[in-house]
C-alpha cells in the first residue's frame, strides 16, 4: 500500500511536470507574440531527414498560420468551388479530427496573392478571432464555432484595400480585441469589446500595413505598438490615445510585414523596400527616439536588412534574419553594420522566407522549402545542428493565382517577380505541446518534437 502511494505520487508529479512545461500557441508568434517557445523536453536533433507526421488533414489554400489552444488547432483557408468562401477551421490537436468549420462568402477584389486568408486565428478566453483577407472580422466560440459577433467590410468599416489584402493578426488584450483595420475615419487601429464586438476606440488615419500590433512595457506601463503603412506608433491600449509616433514613409509601396522586435528598450523594424530602422523606447518618459535608419540602393543592393515575410530575432545586441533574396545576415544592433552573411538557412530567391523562434539557446527555423532547422546564432556565425523536411512546398503561394501589381517586377532588367516554380511554404509554424503544426496549400500536418 505504501509502495502504491509513493508510485502514485511520483506519477502525479511527473504528469504535472509534463503539463507545466507544455505550452499552447494561441496567437501569431506564440503565447506572448515574441517568437519565444518556452517548452522543455524537446529533441536535440532529428533522427531522420524526413519528419514523420502524427497526422495530416486536407485543407484548401491560404497563408494563415495555425494556432493551438486547449487541445484544438485553428486555421483559415479559401475555397473557390462551388462558390467563393473563406473558412475558419478547427481540428483536434491530438488526432487531426475536424471539430467544426465556419464558412462565409467573400469575393477577392483588388488583391494580389489570391490564394487564401493571411492572418492567423487568435484564441483567448474561449473565443477565436478570425480576420479575413477582405476585412471580415469574426468572434467565434472557440469550442463550437458559433458566431458570437461579426464585422463586415463596406457595412461596418470602409476599408481601402491594401495591395495584398488584410493580413495583420488580431491581438487579444483583456476585455478588448485589437486589429489593424486600416479603415477610413480614423480607424486604422480599432479596439472592439471581445464579448460583444462593440467598438471601444479607434485611432490613426494611416493606411494599413501587414504588421501585427504588439504590447510592450515602457516606462512602467503597457504600450500598444502598431507599425502602420506610414508610422510606428505607441498607443494607450485602453483608450487608443497616441502616446508617441515616428514616420516610416514607404519608398515604393507599403510592404511592412515583419513584427517589431525588441531587446533592452531598443526596437527594430525591417521592410523589403525600406530597409531597417532602430528606435529606442525612452524609459524616463513615454517617447521614442530614432537611432538609425539604413536602406540600400535597390532590392538587390541592400543595406542592413531588407526582409519581407520574416520577422528577425534579436539576441544579445545582434539582429539575425533573411535579406531580400534570402541572404541570412547578422547585424550589429548598435549600427546596423553587417557582421556576416550565410546562404545555408534559406535558398536564394526573391522574397525568400524563413520563420525563426527561440527555444532556450537554440533557434528553430522553418524555411520556405518546408525544412525545419535547429541552429544556434552568434556574431561568430551560423551553426546548424540538424535539419529535416517537415512538409512539401506547394505552388499556389508562390506561382498560383497571383494578381501582380503594376510594380511587381524585380529590378534586374525587368525579369519576372517569381522564378521558383517548385513552390514555397510561407506560413509560420505553431509549436505547442511538444509538437509542430504547419500547413501548405493542400494539407495541415502535425509532427512530434518531444525527446524520448
The tally of domains found in the chain comes to: 1
Distance CA(324)–CA(335), nearest Å, equals 19
Give domain status of residue 354, yes or no.
Answer: yes
| pLDDT tens-digit map of 204-225 | 999 999 999 999 999 999 999 9
pLDDT number for residue 160: 96
Retrieve residue 75's grid coordinates: 486555421
Give domain status of residue 245, yes or no.
Answer: yes
Q: Which of 255, 437, 426, 432 is nearest to 346 (CA)?
A: 426
Give domain status of residue 17, yes or no.
Answer: no
Give domain status of residue 429, yes or no.
Answer: yes
Retrieve residue 277's grid coordinates: 530602422
pLDDT number for residue 115: 87
Where helices occur in 357-410 by DSSP H, the ranges are 396-399
Q: For 111, list phi and psi in degrees, rounded to 5.
A: -125, 125
Residue 32 CB partners (closer than 8 Å, separation 6+): none
Tell me the C-alpha to C-alpha distance, in Å, between residue 432 and each of 26, 35, 202, 428, 435: 9, 13, 33, 13, 5
The domain in which residue 385 lies consists of 39-448
CATH number of the domain residue 429 falls in: 2.130.10.10
Q: Which of 157, 153, 125 is nearest to 139 (CA)?
A: 125
Give domain status of residue 26, yes or no.
Answer: no
Q: For 116, list phi and psi in degrees, rounded to 5.
A: 100, 175
Give domain status of residue 193, yes or no.
Answer: yes
Residue that the C-alpha cell 507599403 belongs to: 254
pLDDT number for residue 214: 98
Element holding 399 (H helix, E strand): helix 396-399
Which residues in the chain show pLDDT less than 70?
1-22, 399-421
CB atoms within 10 A of CB 317: 13
| pLDDT tens-digit map of 63-86 | 999 999 999 999 999 999 999 999
DSSP conformation letters of 90-101 = EEETTT--EEEE
pLDDT number for residue 198: 98
Across the strands, what pairs with 371? 389
On the 0-12 / 13-18 / 19+ scale of CB atoms within 10 A, 254 is buried
pTM of the model as a whole: 0.92
Give domain status of residue 8, yes or no.
Answer: no
Amino acid at each position: 500500500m505504501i509502495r502504491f502511494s509513493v508510485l502514485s505520487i511520483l506519477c502525479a508529479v511527473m504528469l504535472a511536470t509534463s503539463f507545466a512545461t507544455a505550452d499552447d500557441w494561441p496567437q501569431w508568434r506564440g503565447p506572448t507574440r515574441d517568437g519565444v517557445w518556452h517548452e522543455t523536453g524537446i529533441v536535440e536533433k532529428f533522427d531522420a531527414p524526413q519528419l514523420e507526421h502524427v497526422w495530416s488533414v486536407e485543407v484548401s489554400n491560404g497563408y494563415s498560420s495555425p494556432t493551438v489552444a486547449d487541445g484544438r488547432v485553428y486555421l483559415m483557408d479559401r475555397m473557390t468551388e462551388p462558390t467563393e468562401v473563406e473558412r475558419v477551421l478547427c481540428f483536434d490537436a491530438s488526432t487531426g479530427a475536424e471539430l467544426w468549420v465556419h464558412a462565409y462568402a467573400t469575393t477577392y477584389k483588388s488583391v494580389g496573392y489570391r490564394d487564401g486568408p493571411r492572418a492567423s486565428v487568435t484564441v483567448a478566453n474561449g473565443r477565436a478571432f478570425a480576420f479575413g483577407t477582405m476585412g471580415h472580422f469574426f468572434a467565434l466560440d472557440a469550442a463550437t464555432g458559433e458566431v458570437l459577433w461579426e464585422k463586415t467590410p463596406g457595412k461596418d468599416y470602409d476599408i481601402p484595400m491594401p495591395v495584398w489584402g488584410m493580413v495583420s493578426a488580431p491581438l487579444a488584450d483583456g476585455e478588448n480585441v485589437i486589429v489593424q483595420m486600416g479603415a477610413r475615419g480614423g480607424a486604422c487601429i480599432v479596439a472592439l469589446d471581445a464579448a460583444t464586438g462593440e467598438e471601444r476606440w479607434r485611432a490613426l488615419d494611416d493606411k494599413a500595413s501587414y504588421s501585427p500590433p504588439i504590447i510592450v512595457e515602457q516606462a512602467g506601463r503597457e504600450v500598444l505598438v502598431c507599425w502602420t503603412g506610414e508610422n510606428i506608433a505607441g498607443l494607450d491600449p485602453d483608450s487608443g490615445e497616441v502616446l508617441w509616433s515616428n514616420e516610416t514613409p514607404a519608398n515604393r509601396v507599403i510592404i511592412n510585414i515583419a513584427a517589431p522586435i525588441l531587446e533592452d528598450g531598443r526596437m527594430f523594424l525591417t521592410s523589403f523596400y525600406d530597409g531597417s530602422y532602430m528606435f529606442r523606447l525612452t524609459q524616463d518618459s513615454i517617447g521614442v527616439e530614432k537611432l538609425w535608419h539604413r536602406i540600400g540602393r535597390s532590392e538587390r543592393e541592400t543595406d542592413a536588412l531588407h526582409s519581407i515575410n520574416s520577422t528577425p530575432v534579436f539576441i544579445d545586441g545582434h539582429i539575425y534574419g533573411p535579406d531580400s533574396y534570402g541572404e541570412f545576415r547578422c547585424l550589429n544592433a548598435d549600427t546596423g553594420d553587417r557582421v556576416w552573411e550565410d546562404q545555408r538557412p534559406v535558398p536564394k530567391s526573391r522574397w525568400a522566407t524563413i520563420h525563426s523562434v527561440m527555444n532556450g539557446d537554440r533557434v528553430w527555423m522553418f524555411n520556405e522549402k518546408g525544412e525545419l532547422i535547429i541552429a544556434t546564432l552568434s556574431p561568430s556565425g551560423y551553426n546548424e545542428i540538424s535539419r529535416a523536411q517537415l512538409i512539401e512546398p506547394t505552388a499556389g503561394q508562390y506561382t498560383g493565382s497571383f494578381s501582380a501589381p503594376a510594380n511587381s517586377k524585380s529590378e534586374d532588367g525587368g525579369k519576372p517577380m517569381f522564378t521558383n516554380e517548385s513552390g514555397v511554404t510561407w506560413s509560420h509554424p505553431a509549436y505547442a505541446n511538444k509538437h509542430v503544426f504547419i500547413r501548405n496549400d493542400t494539407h495541415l500536418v502535425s509532427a512530434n518534437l518531444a525527446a524520448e
